[in-house]
Amino acid sequence: MSQIRICTLRQALRFLGVLIVLCPLMTAEAVFAADVRAQRQIFVASNGWHSAIFISRAAIPGDANPVAADFPAALFLGFGWGDADYFPNRDPGILTLLSAALQPTPSVLHVTGLPTHPRDAFPKDEVIGLKVSADGFRALLRFINAAFSRDGAGRVIVHAPGLHSYSTFYRATGEFHLFNNCNSWTARGLAAAGIPIDADSILRAAGLMESLRKIAK
């Protein structure tokens, strides 16, 4: 009988030892799994000269974006920053282009409420998916929120109809010029989200997407 007790005690001690070894591993796996679940995927799209950030509308809390309610049917919201005269103009001409590039000018934020995934909506564009942490995602939302210009009552200001039937131009903060353009704005937003990108070195869409291809791997 005493031998049975001793055997049972030894088995219990072995089991306890296994638990002591496994518990830190199980805890680490649980933390890792929770961290993965907390991540958000965002997308950056470029047509070769302009870039924009796309976010699942369902992932945006109701009070985190001032215009999300303007696009109730959207699956994704896209945000692209640019010159207030050149960007909305479907036929801007060379003088408007030079004015936008060579001197600081007012800016706009083009918000697109996509009814489908960015890759399906813009099949000719390059679209790169990126994972960001929960904190990084919230920081990105704050960055975008701060890009909207507001009137004296704190309301955002519609500037012009968008380039698509499901988009709108809003007045934005900041001045546009050659060294502060749509791609540098996108890069700063990604940097705010924790993406390891040198935003100060980004001016062209080609450079932006080249950096993001490496990061996405």
The span from the CA of 96 to the CA of 60, in Å, is 35
The more confident residue out of 56 and 6 is 56
**Sequence ranges of the domains in the chain:** 1-38, 39-216
pLDDT of residue 100: 46
Question: Per DSSP, which regions of 1-125 are E strands?
Answer: 40-46, 51-56, 76-83, 105-114
pLDDT of residue 63: 84
pLDDT of residue 91: 53
pLDDT band at 102, cuts 50/70/90? low
Contacts of 164 (CB under 8 A, 6+ apart): 112
Chain mean pLDDT for the chain: 83
For residue 31, pLDDT beyond 70:
no
pLDDT of residue 32: 31
For residue 103, pLDDT beyond 80:
no
The more confident residue out of 99 and 55 is 55
Q: Are 45 and 122 in contact (CB under 8 A)?
A: yes
Q: Measure Cα distances from 128 to 31, 45, 136 in Å.
A: 27, 7, 17
pLDDT > 90: percent of the chain: 70
End-to-end CA distance of the chain: 62
pLDDT of residue 12: 41
For residue 192, pLDDT beyond 60:
yes
